Structures are given as structure tokens and as C-alpha cells.
Structure 1
Amino acid sequence: MNAKELLKKYGKPENFINRDLSWIEFNRRVLQEALNPDLPLLEKVKFVSIFSSNLDEFYMIRVSGIKEQIAANVLEPSIDGLTPREQLPKVEKALQPLLKQLYDLWSNDIVPSLRENNIFLHEYDDLSKEEKKVLTEYFKKEIFPVLTPLAFDPGRPFPYISNLSLSLAVLIRKPNGENHFARVKVPNILPRLLQIDDIVEPNKRQNSNGNFKARFIWLGDLIKENIHLLFPGMEIIETHKFRITRDTDIELQEDEADDLLSVIEENIRQRRFGSVVRLEVAHKMPDFMLETLMENLQITKEDVHQVEGPLGLSDVMILYKLPVHHLKEKPFYPVIPKELNEEEEIFSVIKQRDLLLHHPFHSFTPVVDFIKKAAEDPDVLAIKQTLYRVGTDSPIVKALIEAADRGKQVAVLVELKARFDEENNIYWARELEKVGVHVVYGLVGLKTHAKMTLIVRKEFDGVKRYVHLSNGNYNTVTAKLYTDLGFFTCNKDICSDVSDVFNFLTGYSQQKEFRKLIVSPLHTRESILKLIAREISFKKSGKDAHIIMKMNSLVDPAIITGLYEASNSGVKIDLIVRGVCSLIPGIKGLSENIRVISIVGRFLEHSRIFYFFNNGNEEIYLSSADMMQRNLDRRVEVTFPIEDKILREEIIKNILHIYLKDNMKARILHQDGSYYFIKPQDGTAKLNSQEWLMNHVTKENVSVKKSLRK
């Protein structure tokens, strides 16, 4: 199938959902989890925080991009037919009811429920005179020295306000009767919610019944009530909170850069000064103060969000850390797969057969141990790895440093352009370089998003290679929160391909063809379209045909139109798309054989799995890539086959089919772009796919332990 021909045939605007409106529907599903009456209270708080954090990033990246296009007078519509100027009001209109729902939920449900469970978010006026006195003393000692009041008058310009910072706008009156504006930043080095117990009653953590009790006050409220101490001799007329969001997606001029590291560092610095794309203000802020902010931040009324509740609800995640286990989901402890439960060395296990890990149901420990063992093993000659988002305290990076200290050849590609992880990655890159690791910072014009590790080991019968490939990052924290698939193998073809990809990344290799791997930006789109076309040909010859694709996002027009062609040919298509989906399902003559579901639950669905029936010779591919232009054209991505029959059947039977049977957390996409929960049919048992998977791996592990005891 030719991409141009497909686009010519199906590329009409009415055949696509706008990607940003689709993203808003995804965040609506996140909010639905917070609204779920059956969810434990602190889990609701967690989803409130996630919803708010997602929205912050949406404004920093997507909304800022739309506004930049409008400013540049871009008139060309996107694939769905909307110009930037048409899209922006639709985005804002779609968000407004969600924000109302969010703050109604917070004020009328969550805060009262927290109170019923002895977790109190106090207004300042709720406190006793003695408590206020103690808090004022705490303010003077611990908070006052950190604060810097910034005046705004003819001699002092409007102060710089950093991205996502909470501030207080203060109107003061001098003794001569003049009014002036000042800004006080709420310091982000202190928690947004201060635990009063730690300040007023540090030795009391239980109430009279022996139950846990926690009392909080918003840091901004405490500063506001003591703001007069910052302006002695002045009259405080009024004080109001506000918060800004800046454009953080500043374009890199890589082609002109000799040193990518310095370019990224400069990009991080410039990000602080991106234009303001959103101003959130307390709903009681008077017009003159709002106009002062708008004028000096160079924004319009359309950029202002008036909020009836706390600003920056992403910060309430601090409440989730409270040790109140009955207000959270029952804890789940990832298990070690049965093949790795014995004492056998991991290289020996991989040599016997390929291994599959399904995180977070399976522990990430074997991946860390794989790198640690390679670092310690005197027979290991070299380690090569790609690092995208590794986290702040990475045992994997520490193992790589140890390997270099032991004299092994270590080469690491650290992707400096991993958005919002740049500073962390720069730190680890420098730590690796200090011990002689060969560090590559990525390719000009491309992000390296592939997740690969290659171990080269000297053995009695010659040099062997061992590989780990994954959809997820080498990050021990997210491995407990994201669903991802990791794969260990010593298959000669795959190992040779991974070596070739590393040579492409670190040297001047022009490798275009690979034995087993599908590699972006070379031929992923073309390869996926060929696999779709093969299903079409089987269907046209009267045989069964079926495609299942699980991913985070489906946006690429060529892939979408390829799926439309397959649907029109009678191919059955099941799509499991967690986030953005621009494909419209269920339209007669276009997509009537396509079903799209999205699963949002306890864990973030992050795995990418592509299934093709292939006339009964079923094929499974795992990938680091979503079906988006950026993944197919502007990133180094790796898609790899699962050829082991047992592993393939495990993915089909106990992963894909389980997701497709989910009738508790799955929502189905309708033609208008909305999603609705799938209602269990009469007589059909309820199935939550993530709970099923937790039970599945736990039962497997229990049976293994029993057999070991025998």
C-alpha cells in the first residue's frame, strides 16, 4: 500500500479526529477515575494530581504550539481540517466543563471526605489563636527568610515570574497614600501543603481513638496571612494568588550547534523565559489587578483562567504519601518470573530461551540485575545501552559506572532531548564521562527513543551477545507505575541487528536493512503498512484476517488510512489506544470493522504491541514507537518480533485478549470522538484487565514457590 495513494483516497478532514481534542478526551478519562465512587479516597487524590499535571504539560507544549502558529499567521489546516485559529477556541471550550468538574469534586467531595478520615485541609481562620501564634513564629523562622518581595513601580520593572510558580499579587499603600503593586513568589523549595501537626503538635500524630490524624494548611495561605511582615510601614490593601504557565517547547537549532550538550543547557535556560500561555487566578482577584498582570505578561483575556479553588492541584500528590493504607488500593508487589526464581545465572537462562517481562506485574529487578551482573562478570567485555528517562537515583547508571571502573568497554547513548528530563540526563552523562564511558548525546535532528541494551561476553565457545529490548524506559520508578514489556534474547539475528543500530548511533554507519528489527526513521511506517496490506490480501482471498494494535497514540495519517483500507476490505481490527486517537471507528464504508478502546486504570498503559493473524501463523511485534509522525520520522525507534511460540501465545492469550475483554476500565471510542465505559453484557463476568494481570502473575509465582518447596 502506498501512503500517498491512501491519503488521496481517505485523507478527507471528516475522516480524522483532532489530536488535541482527542487528548482532552484522554484527560477526561483520567478525571473519571478521580470521580469513581468505588475508588479509595487517596487514589482519587492521586488522579486529581495526575489530571492537573497532564493539563499543565498540555498548555506548556500543545497549546503554546497552537498559539505560536496563530502568531506566525499559519493558515494551513491540520489533517482534521481545523486551522490553528479555529482549533484554539474549541480546545478552551472543551476544557471548561472538565475544570468545573475538577473543582466541584475537590471542594464538595474530596475535601469533606478527607475531613471524615481525619485529614484536614484547614483555612487559616479555622485555626485557634494559639495555633496561629505558633504558625506565625514558624513563618518568621522558616519561611520569611526565603521570601523576596518584588516591587513594581517606575524605577523597578515588572518582576520575572517563573513557569508553574505560585505567586501572590499584593496591593500596598504607602504612608503618602500612593498605591503600588508587588509580587511575592511562594517558594517551590517548600511543600505546598504544610503539615500543621509537625509545627504545632510535633509529638501528636494520633487522635484520642488512636487513629491516624493529619492537619494541613496551604503554604500560600500562611504567607498571605503574614504578608504584612514583608512590607513594614505599609498598608496591605489586598492579596490574591496567581499562577502562570509558559511555553516550554523551545525549538532547538541543532544544525548550527557544534556541541549538543551546550545547546540543551541553553535550551533549559531559555525555557524559563518562554512566553506566557496561561494565567490562573483566584476568582476573587479584582479587575485592576488582573489587568496589571495581563498587560505586563503580554496576554489577553482568553489566556486567563479564573479558578474557584486551590491553584496548582498537581501538588496534592503529597497527600497520597500519607501512611493511611485503608485509603489506598491494596498494595501490589511485583513478582520475579518463574524462570528467574532459581539460582541459575541470568546469562545461562537467556541462552536456553527468550524471556519476557511484563512490568509492573513482573519486577524490574531482573533488568537491573542483568546490568549489574554484566558489570561484575569478568567474562563480559562490553556493554552498550540507550538511556532516555533514567530517573534521579539510577542503579542502572551506577552499574554502568562500575563496569567502566572495572575496565569494560561501555558505550551509552544518553538522549539529552528527553523533554523535561534534560537536566537529569545531562548530570548522568557527565558522571558517566568522568569514569571513561563513551557517551553519545544523540543524533542531530533525531531523538533516540529506542530502549536497548547489548552485552558482549567471552564464553568457552566464543564471543556471545545478549540483548534486552523494551517499550519502556530504564527507570526503576516508572517501572512500578507503567505497563511495559521487556524482552531478553541471545538470538543471533536480533543481536546482530542491535549491534548495527548501535553502530548507526555511535558512528557513521549507513545501515538501511536489518534481519529482524524494524527501525525508525528508516522504514517503520512502510513495514507496518506492508503487514496491514498482507492481512488485506488474505481477506480478499477468502481467508480470516485480524489486526490488533496496542499503543499510546494513533495519529499518523498514513497508518490510519491503511487501517481504513483494511476495514473496507473486511479485516477485523481491534485497537487499544490509551491516549490520542485521530482515527474514527464504526463508520460504514470507512471503518465499520474497527473497534477502538482505551484503558485508564491503576497503572499507566504504556506498552506497544502489534498483532497480525497472518493466515494463522500469528505474528507479534513489540515496539518503542507509537503510530505518530514524530515516532516514525523524527526518532530512532526499534520494533522487534517475538518469535518464541510460548511467549507469543502468552502475549496473545494473557495480555491482548485480556485487554480486549476488559469491561471495567475500558472505554469505547464513538464516532463523535467521545468515550463511554463498556457495559458488561448480561451473564458476562466483570473483568478489570490490570487486576486480572496482577492476579495472574501472583498465582504463577505462588505455584512456582510451592513446586520449589516440594
Structure 2
Amino acid sequence: MAKKKLPFLNRELSWLYFNERVLQEAADETVPLIERIKFLSIFSSNLDEFYRVRVATLNRLANLNEKAKALLGFNPKKVLNEIKNIVVKHERRFESIFQATLITELAQNRIFILNHTQLNVARGEFVRNHFRDKILSNLVPIMIDGNKPFPELKDRALYFFVHLSKKGQAKSNKYALLELPESISRFLVLPETNDLKFIILLEDIIKYCLDDIFYVFSYNQIDAYAIQLTRDAELDIDNSISDKFIDELRKSLDKRKRGKPMRLLYDGDMSFDMLSFLVNKLKVGIDGLIPGNKYHRFGDFIAFPNVGSKELEYAPSIPLKVNGLHRTESIFKKMLERDYVVHLPYQSYDYIILFLREAAIDPKVEEINITLYRLAENSKVINALINAAKNGKTVNCLLELKARFDEHANIYWTNRLMEEGVNVNYGLTDYKVHSKICLVKRKDKGKVSYYANLATGNFNEKTARIYCDHSIFTTKKEITSELLKLFNALNKRTVAKGFKHLIVSPIDSRNRMYGLIEREIKFANAGKPAYMILKVNSLADEGIVEKLYEASNAGVQIKLIVRGICCLVPGVAGFSENITVISIIDKFLEHARVFIFGNNEKEEMYLSSADLMSRNFEHRVEVGFPVLDAEVRQEIRDIIEFQLQDNVKARSINKANDNKYRKNRLNTKVRAQVQTYNYLKNKHQ
């Protein structure tokens, strides 16, 4: 009998359904107005990266022969067509939310975004003076000559495609290209009038002053339309780690700027003749043509100024304390008593900085080992490591240069650390090091002890203010002895084997996860209680999906919390009848990876740096670790329970992919992030 085909949603389509959930937040009337604009910004930035990476990959795959496509499991061209249909629908929804809803609500709050046709004489004079003082010198138009190569458009840069004409003289028409400078703010706040606030965008300032730019010509009609080109951003680097690696990476980053065009966003009001001219010159495929609104690179709207009341934004959350840890007491001393967990962003990231700071200044600390992936711009983590080296500690830092879109920053930090005497290992040949681990060696009266910090998120104090993660301090030998073994291998640019407590990719994490799932299957088959609760950012690995279907069919009760991609399809007869999936999109970004297994009423919990994706199992160094302290485990379990009960921001993931908000089956509303903050506040204050 032929094996039934597994229900498996294409990961790119699943990602688009996730981004639709971000768009839902922008449409949610209960979300403060300025925050809704920011969700539009996040949606736009997400889509930019999606085209630069995922669509770029599909375009490469589209040229495969039929046999290769069969091995792939889907037709890339068909998926690209589906992507375009969904994206065009989302762009229309985006435009409707922004123009019909948010612009109107801004006006109700006496805030007006003016375009270039809406300026009165006084505001027009203010804008023109600002343009001449601050903007004009940064603009250099390029006149388009049909007989010469078209200028190379930068990835994601904003341009005006300009049409210059004279009435009654069609043959005199000319085209020009104008790049909008990134160094100038997109937003200009105009003088207030009668308690009315006015904002104008850079694009409309330039449109209002086009005659100041092209005054040397005698054209009497000048029309400008915004365009933005997104290019293939995948790196093409030699797979070697050597002293020349950083130079190779720099060259590859330069290539990224000139990658193949993936998407052309254009103002839908542009004439067909102008669009045809552009398409012909840029060689953009039909799948990459996306009619958009007048304002592209909407990611910049993350900095949209709030000129209204404080109620238009989320109230800032004051970072909470952790009971037992104090700024003026040794964290190392407290760790000897028991494990501690910091729940970010609800509790302060300062505890992680204080841990590193203490390691840097404690005369009994001899060595610090740490893996770094993404860092804050002015990193306190880096400063602590540099000070540790200056204080004579041996500091071994594995800084992953291949962290996508953070390569430039990580090259800078690598050079800075090396200059200050830190031993920098910038990655392994075949794998990205994505783990978030730190181990401190301390020697007191001849006795060596180890102090560890392991987390689900990066050592990054900036993202720690908006990413929900768990960061654990422990001195338990089961953890520290295996971390020492792992760091000894990583410092030699290899990965160790044979861990009992840690779950380490790419060595054994797949087999360990399979084993934990199979254990629940055995309990279910024996008629014993069997369940799993898995929380991840993405679930896309076919092997794991198949194993979860097997567990569901055995009667294991499976609850999944998946923020982003979910290729598993719940509720399918014969496959996933015992699986439910929710996705939570809210004020903070749900980022923690938590794996809970019933284990015949002896519940086990693991935290990890890894999602359930093939790359996390096979192409990255990831570290999962058991939560051994009962109190820490209970706190995380309580937080997970709030998320499972969420009936405000949780969406049900189902076969229809309709992103419906979860129905309220309780008498009260449960919003997990609010519940979590209040829970920790009551427990720790």
C-alpha cells in the first residue's frame, strides 16, 4: 500500500500567513494608533527580507528540471505565482489600513500627514526653505539616455522615476532617476496651527520642490513616481574559515548590493509606458512586479514621530526585578545557592550584564567563554568582555560572522575585540554558531568552579527590551561540565559529541528530539498519560512534522505555540487530530523556544536556541538544555500556561490558514503578555 502523503504546508506560504498576522495587529483597533503604524512598518520590513532571501532562493530553484522539482517536493514557479497573488492581496490590505483607516484616525487625533498638494502658502514656504537648506545639496538626478546602460539601482533604496515633458511636444519627453538620501529623516514635523499637528514625508517635500531640482531645463510638466528595487541578498562565499575569511565576507557583502532584482515596488499611478520602460531596463520578472502605494520602504515608519498624546503608544513597561538577585551583591554567590531565570523583556537585562561585569572584575575569575550572534549597536556585552581581557582574564569569544544582515556589524566587533586582546573565533567551516551560551571559570583556594548563563535569545540588550526570552543562571555540574566540553571543542573549531544533558546541533539534536517524542508515543501506546507542549518561532522540518503526526495518531496530546512558519497542518483526520496550534502576535516578539514532555507524570522541560527547522538540526550549532531547578521550571510553566489560555492575541492555526483570533471560551479575557508581566510583578516585587 502506498504511503499517504503528509499534510505539509509550503514554508514560504506559511511565512506569508505569519506576516498577515502582523498586518492584523495594524488593523486591530485595540492597539494604540502609533503602534499600529509600527506594525505596518514591521510588516513591510519583513516582506523586504522575504524577497531578498526566500523569493531569491525560489527564483534560483525555478530553473531546475522536472526530476529535480519532484525531489524538491513542489514546483518553485507555481509557488512564486502563489506568493505574488498573496502579496498583492496583502499590499491592497496594507494600503487600505494605512490610507482609509490610520490616516483617518490620525486626523481624529488632530494629526495630519500632508502630501505635496495640500500645503498652504505658509507651510509651503516652510517646506521649500527646509528643502533648500537641508535636502537639495544631497540630490543629484541622473538623466536617462536610452542609448546608455540604465543606472544600477541599489537594493532597497528609494528612488523617484521622473517624467519631464513639455505640453504639445511629445518628442521632447525625458526620464530621470532621483535617489532619495538615506541620511535625511523621512519625516518633517511642520509648525503647529490651532493645536493641529502636521507631518510631511521626504517624498512629498521633494515632489513639492521638483522645479528647484530641474530648473536648468525648460520642461513645464514634471511627474515623479516612487520605486524601490529589492535584490537577491544571499551570500555567495567560499566555504572556508581562514585568515582571509573576513576579506571574503566583505567581498560577498559588496556582491549583495548588486544581486539579481527580485521585486520592483512601484507607485500604482505610474503610466504603463513608464513601467514598461523600467521593466525592460531592470529585467524584473512578472512575478516580481508589485504595485504598491506612494510610500515605499515603509520600514522607516518604525520611527514615525508621535506628536500627539502618550496614549497613542503602548505605555513603557518598567523592567521588573528578580527576587534574590541584587545589583550590590555577588551574582556568583547567589548562583551557588540555586538557579535563577530572567524572563525577558519583563525583567531587567541588567542581570546578564552584571553577571559579565562581575566575571570581568572578580580577581578569582580566570576564563570566560561565550558565543555571540547578534549584538546591540553600543554593546555593553562587548564592553564587559574587553574589560575582562584588560583585567588579565582569558576571554574566548566565538562571534558568528555569518549572522545574516549583521555581518558588517560583526566584522566591526571582531576587529575591536581582537585589538583589545580577546581571543576571537569567527565561526566554523560548515555551520553557523547560533547557540546563546556563556561559561565562566573561577578558581578559589585551588578549587575550580563554573558559572553558566544559557538563553533562548541573543546577548543583545537592545532586542532584549522587545523579545520574549528566558535566560538561566546555573552552576549545576550536569550543565557546566558539558558546556566546558562543548566550548573546548568550539575553540578548536569543531563540535563535540556524546552529551547526556545538553541537546547539541548538528551532532545529536534530531535523534534526541525524536527520542523524546517516541517516549511519549510509548506511554500513549501503554495507555498512560502522554502529552507535549512545544513553543518555537518556526516549525518547518519535515522529519519533526512526520514524528508529531505519528505521536498524534498514537494518542499523544500535542499543543504547539508557533509564532511564525508552521508547515504542520493541525486537525487533519488520520494525521493531526490531537494537535492544536496557536500563534501569538502582540506588543513583544515571542522568541523563546520551550519544549515540555509529559514523561509519564514526571514532566521534563528543555529550553533551546533552536527552532524546529532543518537548518537548526543540520547547519547550525545549537544548544538545548534541561531546566533542572523546580522553581525556575514552575515559573516558565506558568508563563506557558498563560499563552495556552490567551484569548486576546492568540490566533488559531488551521487548515484554512485564515488566522482567526482564538474564541473566548473563558469568562474573562486572557492576554498572555499582560498576564505574564502582572504575574512576575506580584511574585518578584
TM-score, normalisation: structure 2:
0.95
* Alignment-derived partner of residue 366 in structure 2: 381
Q: Which amino acid aligns with 1:660?
A: L
Following superposition, the deviation at residue 410 of structure 1 comes to 0.8
**Using the alignment, how far apart are the partners of 1:300 and 1:91 within structure 2?**
13
Give the 3 Å change call, closer, same or farther, for CA 88–178 of structure 1 in structure 2.
same
Which ranges in structure 2 are unaligned for 5 or more consecutive residues?
A: none
* Alignment-derived partner of residue 286 in structure 2: 301
Which region of structure 1 is more displaced relative to structure 2, 172-181 or 64-73? 172-181
Aligned pairs for 1:411-450 (under 5 A) are 411-450=396-435
Asked if residue 21 in structure 1 is aligned to residue 13 in structure 2, the reply is yes
**Using the alignment, how far apart are the partners of 2:252 and 2:490 within structure 1?**
23
Contact in 2 for aligned 1:46/1:320 (Cα 8 Å): no
Following superposition, the deviation at residue 136 of structure 1 comes to 1.6
* Alignment-derived partner of residue 705 in structure 1: none
Contact in 2 for aligned 1:18/1:80 (Cα 8 Å): no
Asked if residue 368 in structure 1 is aligned to residue 353 in structure 2, the reply is yes
Following superposition, the deviation at residue 587 of structure 1 comes to 1.6
Following superposition, the deviation at residue 252 of structure 1 comes to 2.4
Following superposition, the deviation at residue 684 of structure 1 comes to 2.9
SS of the aligned residue for 2:304 comes to helix
Give the 3 Å change call, closer, same or farther, for CA 47–74 of structure 1 in structure 2.
farther
Contact in 1 for aligned 2:652/2:660 (Cα 8 Å): yes
Contact in 2 for aligned 1:43/1:320 (Cα 8 Å): no
Contact in 1 for aligned 2:88/2:291 (Cα 8 Å): no
**Using the alignment, how far apart are the partners of 2:326 and 2:619 within structure 1?**
40
* Alignment-derived partner of residue 687 in structure 1: 670
Asked if residue 49 in structure 1 is aligned to residue 41 in structure 2, the reply is yes
Following superposition, the deviation at residue 671 of structure 1 comes to 2.0
Contact in 1 for aligned 2:501/2:625 (Cα 8 Å): yes
* Alignment-derived partner of residue 479 in structure 1: 464
* Alignment-derived partner of residue 188 in structure 1: 182
Contact in 2 for aligned 1:391/1:424 (Cα 8 Å): no
* Alignment-derived partner of residue 672 in structure 1: 656
**Using the alignment, how far apart are the partners of 1:510 and 1:423 within structure 2?**
26
- Residues 67-110 of structure 1 deviation map (CA, whole Å, 9 limit, x = unaligned): 12114557644889421011111111122222111111101110
Aligned partner of 2:102 among 105, 110, 113 = 110
Following superposition, the deviation at residue 196 of structure 1 comes to 2.3
* Alignment-derived partner of residue 123 in structure 1: 115
Following superposition, the deviation at residue 609 of structure 1 comes to 0.3
Q: Which amino acid aligns with 1:313?
A: F
Report percent identity of matched pairs.
36
Which region of structure 1 is more displaced relative to structure 2, 433-442 or 337-346? 337-346
Give the 3 Å change call, closer, same or farther, for CA 302–234 of structure 1 in structure 2.
farther
Q: Which amino acid aligns with 1:698?
A: K
* Alignment-derived partner of residue 227 in structure 1: 210
Q: Which amino acid aligns with 1:699?
A: N
**Using the alignment, how far apart are the partners of 1:291 and 1:453 within structure 2?**
55
Give the 3 Å change call, closer, same or farther, for CA 333–9 of structure 1 in structure 2.
farther
- Residues 456-485 of structure 1 deviation map (CA, whole Å, 9 limit, x = unaligned): 112236111111000101111110101001
Asked if residue 504 in structure 1 is aligned to residue 489 in structure 2, the reply is yes
Asked if residue 650 in structure 1 is aligned to residue 635 in structure 2, the reply is yes
**Using the alignment, how far apart are the partners of 2:309 and 2:46 within structure 1?**
26
**Using the alignment, how far apart are the partners of 1:442 and 1:505 within structure 2?**
9
SS of the aligned residue for 1:410 comes to strand
Contact in 2 for aligned 1:172/1:181 (Cα 8 Å): yes
**Using the alignment, how far apart are the partners of 1:155 and 1:257 within structure 2?**
45
TM-score, normalisation: structure 1:
0.92
**Using the alignment, how far apart are the partners of 1:606 and 1:322 within structure 2?**
31
- Residues 182-204 of structure 1 deviation map (CA, whole Å, 9 limit, x = unaligned): 1010111111122223xxxxxx6
Asked if residue 315 in structure 1 is aligned to residue 296 in structure 2, the reply is no
- Residues 283-326 of structure 1 deviation map (CA, whole Å, 9 limit, x = unaligned): 11112211121111111333211224422222212225557311
Following superposition, the deviation at residue 237 of structure 1 comes to 4.1
SS of the aligned residue for 2:600 comes to helix
- Residues 534-569 of structure 1 deviation map (CA, whole Å, 9 limit, x = unaligned): 111111111111111000011111111111111111
Which region of structure 1 is more displaced relative to structure 2, 504-513 or 456-465? 504-513
* Alignment-derived partner of residue 390 in structure 1: 375
**Using the alignment, how far apart are the partners of 2:336 and 2:71 within structure 1?**
48
SS of the aligned residue for 2:117 comes to helix
Q: CA RMSD in A?
A: 2.0
* Alignment-derived partner of residue 4 in structure 1: none
**Using the alignment, how far apart are the partners of 2:239 and 2:413 within structure 1?**
21
Number of matched pairs:
680
Give the 3 Å change call, closer, same or farther, for CA 219–22 of structure 1 in structure 2.
same
Asked if residue 34 in structure 1 is aligned to residue 26 in structure 2, the reply is yes
Aligned pairs for 1:107-506 (under 5 A) are 107-153=99-145, 156-172=148-164, 178-197=172-191, 208=194, 214-231=197-214, 232-235=216-219, 236-255=221-240, 259-319=244-304, 324-341=309-326, 343-460=328-445, 462-506=447-491
**Using the alignment, how far apart are the partners of 2:308 and 2:391 within structure 1?**
42
**Using the alignment, how far apart are the partners of 1:73 and 1:324 within structure 2?**
58
- Residues 348-407 of structure 1 deviation map (CA, whole Å, 9 limit, x = unaligned): 011110111111111111001111111121211111111101121101101111111112
Following superposition, the deviation at residue 416 of structure 1 comes to 0.7
* Alignment-derived partner of residue 88 in structure 2: 96
* Alignment-derived partner of residue 644 in structure 2: 660
* Alignment-derived partner of residue 573 in structure 2: 588
- Residues 470-522 of structure 1 deviation map (CA, whole Å, 9 limit, x = unaligned): 01011111101010010111112211211222122221556211231110000
Following superposition, the deviation at residue 134 of structure 1 comes to 2.9
Following superposition, the deviation at residue 33 of structure 1 comes to 0.9
